[in-house]
Amino acid sequence: MKNVLITGGAGFIGSNLAFKIQKDFPQAKITVVDDFRGSNLKNLSGFKGETLTFDVAQKEWLKAFQNRPLDAIFHLASITDTTILDEKKMMFDNVEGFRNILGLALQKKAPVVYASSAAVYGSQEKPMKEEDAGKPNNVYGVSKWTMDQLTRDFEGKLKVVGLRYFNVFGPGEWFKGAAASMIYQLARQMLAGKRPRIFKWGEQRRDFIYVKDVVEATLRGLCAKQNTIVNVGTGRSTSFNEVIEALNEGLGTSLAPDYFDNPYDFYQNFTQADVAKAKRDLGFEARFSTHDGIVDYVRNFLLPSAKTNVVN
């Protein structure tokens, strides 16, 4: 990895990836492309590579790479706020941005690892296998499903690996506000001495995966022997009650949940990744359980940042 492009590199997962590559491949020339609509420059504090401010769904940024070699492209830029209802905007930004990336990769003969999403599965109360996709609940999920379909046109022409991230949490998500993980939001409530508020009766379950594992899976995408799309999760579901138990352990508190009625009839009560294909195609298996990831996150990032008022 001598010449690396990360789109969305100032975002949550993108910034974690940029610093991991910077640490493990110190000779790599890393270029981040980000328009900072859904990210924050503070996430790149200490980044030694180049940062270009462009919207990847537009065309003008491609000129900056006409004479640049590229050995790897990690495409993480997209609108990720699932509450956005503007279908034209969501589809254009996410799908056309990806189309630009694929065209650039074909020109440079560079492999692409891109962020898909568990949102392509919609509401399914069973471990989700890759072949179960195509029933998204919202336009965000539709945009990611459409991206997955685009990769078919490049079979045999270009190495493309899609990663269906499940519920990611960890350092670097602070700027997302209401779109940050529930683990982050509940932790902030508890750090303020408040009881954590969750829907009755806290038995809704998610496949929460720590961002450190997500970065590992993303890097492993480059080593896939063939084009593939795989789930990136722990393979286990964790209830919100269990999340609060882990948060209490990490924080050294004993705050009981504050249960309230769920107002949403479209709420997703369950997510769990079937991870067999990720093990087979990428050799990836999550190193952190959700519990251990939460404790690491709280003790090494959230508690220190709360004491020093430094965001994480």
User: 198 and 280 share a domain?
Assistant: no
Q: Please tell me the predicted confidence (pLDDT) of residue 262.
A: 93
Q: How far apart are CA 166 and CA 211, in angstroms?
A: 10
What is the residue-averaged pLDDT of the chain? 95
User: 117 and 187 share a domain?
Assistant: no
User: 110 and 158 share a domain?
Assistant: yes
Q: Which residue among the candidates 121, 140, 165, 210 is catalytic per the annotation? A: 140
Question: Which pTM was predicted?
Answer: 0.96
User: 141 and 117 share a domain?
Assistant: yes
User: 68 and 179 share a domain?
Assistant: no
Beta bridge pairs of residue 238? 206
User: 73 and 136 share a domain?
Assistant: yes
Residue 149 burial by Cβ neighbours in a 10 Å radius (0-12, 13-18, 19+): exposed
Q: Please tell me the predicted confidence (pLDDT) of residue 231.
A: 98
Token pair belonging to 32: 């981040």
The torsion of the CA quartet 301, 297, 200, 237, rounded to 10 degrees, works out to 160
Residue numbers of the chain with a pLDDT score lower than 50: none
User: 191 and 224 share a domain?
Assistant: no
Q: How far apart are CA 299 and CA 162, in angstroms?
A: 32
User: 194 and 114 share a domain?
Assistant: no
Number of domains in the chain: 2
Q: Which residue among the candidates 108, 144, 159, 176 is catalytic per the annotation? A: 176
User: 137 and 198 share a domain?
Assistant: no
Q: Please tell me the predicted confidence (pLDDT) of residue 307.
A: 81
User: 91 and 183 share a domain?
Assistant: no
Strands 29-33 and 50-52: parallel
Q: Are 222 and 111 in contact (CB under 8 A)?
A: yes
Cβ burial 83-93 (10 Å sphere, 16+ → b, else e): eeeeeeebbeb
User: 99 and 183 share a domain?
Assistant: no
CATH of the domain at 180: 3.90.25.10
Known active-site residue 200: no
CATH of the domain at 22: 3.40.50.720
User: 277 and 164 share a domain?
Assistant: yes
Known active-site residue 140: yes
Show the domain range for 256: 174-205+238-268+296-308
